[in-house]
Amino acid sequence: MKTIAVVLSGSGVFDGSEIHESVLTLLALARSGAKYQCFAPDRPQREVVNHLSGEVMEGEQRNILVESARIARGEIQPLSALSMSEFDGVIWPGGFGVAKNFCDFAVAGSDCKVEEDVLRVAREFVAAGKPSGYLCISPVLLPQIVGEGVLGTIGTDLGVAEAYNQMGGKHCDCPVDEVVVDEAHKIVSSPAYMLAGDITEAAASVESLVAKVLSWCD
């Protein structure tokens, strides 16, 4: 049975993992007969956002791992415990937690830095030739993970696409229900809520990506 690591960045689109994308990923894996294990960094979020008002909650602190446990129903481990050798692949759902907690793209744009724990895990899967899936905004990590020329997509957002290219990647426009594949590194990306207008469109994006990841595991 294939086993996939799913790395979360918190709980909630504005400061953590996009919940629909995360749950749809777990559902698509389970329906395909694969096992999964969730992971998240055990450190504070960059900021906490009130998801009702959209405002930053000044002075409030939350832990990425503790918040991610809400999505995983408590079945989650710290990212530091992720051993690449125990998994057939890895998937990174989107949400602004990627741009705030996995790196500082939300404030630094193309000058962003990816956190060391994220770099370690992501590069280990690439180096081992194991498949990686990146949803929504998470492909912005790829130029620093892989390097010059890595193919990826965040859909059709001109600003993010330009930043992706400035960082050394090669951005490819992509419809919401399709994927962009970097065969050389076994990396697949899909726009999800960067383009999705509703949960059904997000599901089509996630399911396409999960299917490609699992096909590489054979």
User: pLDDT tens-digit profile of 73-127?
Assistant: 999 999 999 999 999 999 999 999 999 999 999 999 999 999 999 999 999 999 9
Predicted pLDDT of residue 27: 98
CA distances from 198 to 75, 139, 201 (A): 27, 21, 6
Q: What residues pair up with 56 in beta bridges, in sequence order?
A: 49
What are 116-145's pLDDT values in tens digits? 999 999 999 999 999 999 999 999 999 999
* C-alpha torsion angle, residues 146, 29, 93, 38 (rounded to 10): -90
CATH code at 49? Answer: 3.40.50.880
Are 130 and 84 within 8 A, CB to CB?
Answer: yes
Which domain covers residue 177, as residue numbers?
3-216
pLDDT above 90: residue 218: no
Are 126 and 92 within 8 A, CB to CB?
Answer: no
Q: Which residues are catalytic?
A: 136
**What's the mean pLDDT when you consider all of the chain?**
97
Are 174 and 188 within 8 A, CB to CB?
Answer: no
What are 162-183's pLDDT values in tens digits? 999 999 999 999 999 999 999 9
Q: How far apart are CA 33 and CA 192, in angstroms?
A: 22
Number of domains making up the chain: 1
What are 14-50's pLDDT values in tens digits? 999 999 999 999 999 999 999 999 999 999 999 999 9
- Overall pTM surpassing 0.95 (yes/no): yes
